[in-house]
Structure 1
Amino acid sequence: MGWTTIKFSGEEIIEIAVQMEESGKLFYEKAISLAEGDKLKEVLTYLAQGEAKHIQDFSKLGESIDYSFLPNESYPGEYEDYVRSLVNSHIFKLTEVEDLIKGIKNNKDILRIAISFEKDSIVFFQELKNMGNKAASEVLEKLIDEERGHIKKIVAMIKDL
């Protein structure tokens, strides 16, 4: 599936979310070998495990999300364009993880990329939550809370640098 062909079926939205989380997991796993210090390596391992769990959570959501609802639009397809722009601007795409890894010079670079990923994910998950049904919203709220926890860990690491 291309990044520019979003349709609001539960299956496709879940696929995009899973791809994002897989990209994050891959980044964290690759960044471990570049990280200096055991504490950062532990945090990156924890973050990779968190993304792996989110992949499972999204896979379980499957078709239970109803994306037939769209907010009021000023033109047809406006909301779809907005969500597409969120996906396209998300820092992690599987194809770009290697480029991000190549650009890392120090721990600060790793943490800067990590915090961008987590923030992007929260924004995207929040939009999914706004569009989804009640059951999906509860799962997504839990995932958003977990991503917030990831940001707290990353910020604590930045303060320790």
Structure 2
Amino acid sequence: MAEFFSAADVVGAAVEMERRGQALYRRMAQVAEKPEIKRFFENLAGEERRHEELFAAMAKRLGAAELPAWSTMEEYSAYLGALLDSHALFSPGFAKEMAEKSGLFEESVRGAMSLEKDSMLFFQEMLQLIPGSEHSFILECLEEERRHLRQLSALLKK
């Protein structure tokens, strides 16, 4: 389980999440049979890369975490650790399983939807810990993840 002592540590987890998401979307783009699906996943990988850069810059600016009033560092660290441990991108075997299924359209899209939802939840929780001056960056990434989820859902309906 992860332990967090600073807001930069929490943001570091977001950086790693975005790196893993990029790699997965690049893999999905490589095996996509239709050019429009390939472009779609390449675009998602590019947006995850931009998120990584935003979070990496944020991590350099941050100091201590701002715990919610109802929580202790130990409690919130345990919660965030559990949240990350259950995130699709940090689950043992998820990336390998997705790589194996990346030629299967529906399974790939559903896996991508799962990781987008997990990322949205993590970003929501980040808002509890990160100074208000940084919230606009997190909210921007959160809205983009919502858009990704809508786009992935629309792909399934086509």
**TM-score normalized by structure 2?**
0.89
Q: Label 1:44 to 1:118 Cα distance change in 2 as closer, same or farther (>3 A).
A: same
Cα 1:36–1:11 shift into 2, 3 Å: same
Matches within 5 A, 1:28-39: 28-39=25-36
Q: Secondary structure at the match of 1:7?
A: coil
Within 1, Cα distance between the matches of 2:131 and 2:60?
Answer: 11
Give CA-to-partner distance per residue, 1:90-146, whole Å, 9 cap, x none. 001397423321244511011001111111001000100122111111110111011
Alpha carbons 1:21, 1:54 under 8 Å: kept: yes
Q: Deviations over 1:36-95 (max 9, x none)?
A: 31221111011000000000000111243441423413x772222111111000001397
Task: Return the alpha-carbon distance in structure 2 between the equivalents of residues 154 and 52 of structure 1.
Answer: 18
- Structure 1: which 5+ runs fail to align? none
Partner of 2:119: 121
| Correspondence for 1:47 | 44
Cα distance, 1:35–1:71 mapped onto 2, change above 3 Å: farther
1:26 and 2:26 aligned: no
Instruction: Please state how far the C-alpha of 1:154 moved relative to its aligned partner.
Output: 0.8
Q: 2 CA distance for matches of 1:46 and 1:82?
A: 32
Q: CA RMSD in A?
A: 2.0
- 1:113-152 aligned at under 5 Å gives the runs 113-152=111-150
Asked if 1:158 corresponds to 2:136, the answer is no
Match among 47, 57, 78 for residue 75 of structure 2:
78
Structure 1 residues 135 and 36: CA distance shift in structure 2, 3 A: same
Q: TM-score, normalization: structure 1?
A: 0.87
Contact 1:17 1:58 in 2 (8 A): yes
**SS of 2:5 mapped into structure 1:** coil
**Contact in 1 for aligned 2:19/2:48 (Cα 8 Å):** yes
